[in-house]
Structure 1
Amino acid sequence: MPEAYERHLVPVFFRPFAADLAARAAALQPLTVLELAAGTGALTSALLTAVPTASVVATDLNEAMVTAGSARESRADWRQADAQELPFEDGSFDLVLCQFGVMFFPDRAAAYSEVGRVLAPQGRFLFNSWGPLASHGFGAAFQEALEQSMPEGAPSFLKDVPHGYTDPAVVAADLAIAGLALATTVEITLDGVAESASSVATGFLTGTPVSAAMEARQDAGTIRASVTQKMTALLGTGAVTAPMTATVYTAHHQV
């Protein structure tokens, strides 16, 4: 999964938003940074380029992602870690960063409590999450193609998880439970550019948990071909561009 994720999804989905989040982080002039759900290091690299003097610890729950990320970006200190049980001392970081990871935390209040614990008194928690699936041109096209190819019941992973945490009021309430206050909320839309619709389809089918649903089916090859064909029909041939919307949040300790 890390290889497919890095090859097909990171350049299209994550690098544009990594540049945005890294610029916002740089404006805070952090010295010690903890990154959660770092994946293969798209944000890690952007951050270290934007703030080369910062000390960055990059973490992910998935050990394979940590292995891949540490090979890509050696300037950071990579650790396998559960965001709900962080292995760091209280008040260790003046900035905690997370790009498109909070949606995957099983207990967000617990994870946010850990963020508050390791965050310095005047520190900031900077993170983003995807908007509704309809606001992500590639994701919406993939889900439509998947549902057409699996009319008996397509996996709803994209709708339920990556695009299932879209209400700032819910985010603010989760943060408040953990003793954090939401300071800013900014919705942004950036364009993703992919080499082809086929590449994006491959990324979704092999670089996300949708791959598990495919592996269990004898007709997986037929479904993959159908999804690829339908995504190409929806997005076009050759290089393709689509808008992607996300919300950027900044939080801090409650006063």
Structure 2
Amino acid sequence: MTEDHAAFVGSVPQNYDRYLGPIYFFEYADDLAARLPVSRGVRVLEVACGTGIVTARLLKRLEGQGSLVATDLNDPMLAHARTRVAERPGLEFRQADATKLPFPDASFDVVVCQFGIMFFPDKAAGAREAFRVLRPGGTWLFNVWDALDRNPIARITQSTIESVFPVDPPQFYRVPFSLYDPAAVTAMVGAAGFADVRWEYVEKVGTSPTALDAATGLIEGNPVVAPITARGPDSVKEVEAALAANLAAELGDRPLRTPLRALVCSARRPA
């Protein structure tokens, strides 16, 4: 079965933001925004901004000292981002393909991307575009997930999907956890022309009020919902029920708490 791993459409953005924000993204958004180098007039580009979780934190970090352009490939994600963070002086939302950015060379001082590079169909092109739009001396700041087996909630989700659909199971969860090798990340960034490539593992804890809330987000807040829905009218609820039970057994319930592990990277375009 063909899957579109970047189809964040329909009700997916709302479910992504509501359920997955506190599980996966809030803690890492705080971490990434805190790393943003801030100076008067700094120009920041956010790539793959999703529902605006990082966007809001970048604005707070900037404190009016610079400007932010937040982009995403998916218009439905951008529409939800605009409900989270209203456009204002110093903030612009734009639809953009991260591998073909619609900006002139050397337009920005910093490019930021939270958990987006793994979805680029051409990751090397995405790295080259980040390099191109940065001014000499500018910074690329991004994070990617560590391996599936080092992020229990994702591991449990994929194994549950495979147990419910043993024949040709949906493979969405293989994608966001595929760019975990620091050597491969360093090579990709270096090949685009960057210098001073630095990375570190950052561990956080994600939370959800209940295991069922988590299961709802993990299925209905991601493109995996489409191939699961295609299996039959009751497939989504069947998977969510099984997943909620498996999550509660390993990660607890009311609340659920899950360890998370990601690779946080920075690189500089040579002056």
Task: Classify the secondary structure of the residue corresponding to 2:179.
Answer: coil
**Which portions of structure 1, spanning 4 or more consecutive aligned residues, are displaced by more than 4 angstroms?**
26-30
Per the alignment, residue 259 of structure 2 pairs with 243
> Which of these residues, 165, 175, 179, is aligned with residue 179 of structure 2?
165
Alignment of 1:122-137 (within 5 A): 122-137=137-152
Bigger mean CA offset, 66-75 vs 119-128: 66-75
Per the alignment, residue 106 of structure 1 pairs with 121
Task: Classify the secondary structure of the residue corresponding to 1:25.
Answer: coil
Q: Is the 8 A contact 1:194 1:241 kept in 2?
A: yes
**Residues 36, 230 of structure 1: CA spacing in aligned structure 2 closer, same or farther, 3 A cutoff?**
same
Q: 2:112 & 2:157 partners in 1: Cα distance?
A: 28
Alpha-carbon shift at residue 168 of structure 1 (Å) = 1.3
Q: How many positions carry a matched residue from both structures?
A: 254
Structure 1: which amino acid aligns with 2:190? A
Q: 1:29 & 1:145 partners in 2: Cα distance?
A: 49
Q: 1:54 & 1:72 partners in 2: Cα distance?
A: 20
Per the alignment, residue 233 of structure 1 pairs with 249
Structure 1: which amino acid aligns with 2:162? E
Per the alignment, residue 67 of structure 2 pairs with 55
Q: Normalized against structure 2, the TM-score is what?
A: 0.88
Structure 2: which amino acid aligns with 1:244? L
Q: 1:6 & 1:181 partners in 2: Cα distance?
A: 34
Structure 2: which amino acid aligns with 1:222? E
Per the alignment, residue 198 of structure 1 pairs with 212
Per the alignment, residue 76 of structure 2 pairs with 64
**Residues 195, 237 of structure 1: CA spacing in aligned structure 2 closer, same or farther, 3 A cutoff?**
same
Structure 2: which amino acid aligns with 1:162? P
Structure 2: which amino acid aligns with 1:204? L
Task: Classify the secondary structure of the residue corresponding to 1:129.
Answer: strand
Alpha-carbon shift at residue 233 of structure 1 (Å) = 2.6
Q: 2:207 & 2:245 partners in 1: Cα distance?
A: 18
Alpha-carbon shift at residue 243 of structure 1 (Å) = 0.8
Alpha-carbon shift at residue 91 of structure 1 (Å) = 0.7
Per the alignment, residue 225 of structure 2 pairs with 211
Structure 2: which amino acid aligns with 1:21? L
Bigger mean CA offset, 147-156 vs 36-45: 147-156
Q: CA RMSD in A?
A: 1.7
Q: Normalized against structure 1, the TM-score is what?
A: 0.94
Q: Is the 8 A contact 1:182 1:249 kept in 2?
A: no
Q: Is the 8 A contact 1:150 1:223 kept in 2?
A: no
**Residues 30, 243 of structure 1: CA spacing in aligned structure 2 closer, same or farther, 3 A cutoff?**
farther
**Residues 30, 210 of structure 1: CA spacing in aligned structure 2 closer, same or farther, 3 A cutoff?**
farther
* Structure 2: gaps spanning 5 or more residues: 1-11
Alignment of 1:75-94 (within 5 A): 75=88, 76-94=91-109
Alpha-carbon shift at residue 146 of structure 1 (Å) = 2.1
Structure 1: which amino acid aligns with 2:138? G
Q: Is the 8 A contact 1:30 1:94 kept in 2?
A: no
Is 2:150 aligned against 1:150? no
Per the alignment, residue 110 of structure 2 pairs with 95
Of Structure 1 and Structure 2, which has the larger fraction of its residues in helix? 1
* Structure 1: gaps spanning 5 or more residues: none
Per the alignment, residue 6 of structure 2 pairs with none
Offset from partner CA, 1:236-255 (integer Å, 9 cap, x none): 22101111000111112247
Q: Is the 8 A contact 1:187 1:245 kept in 2?
A: yes
Q: Is the 8 A contact 2:110 2:139 kept in 1?
A: yes
Q: 2:213 & 2:66 partners in 1: Cα distance?
A: 35
Task: Classify the secondary structure of the residue corresponding to 1:17.
Answer: helix
Q: Give identity over the alignment, percent.
A: 40
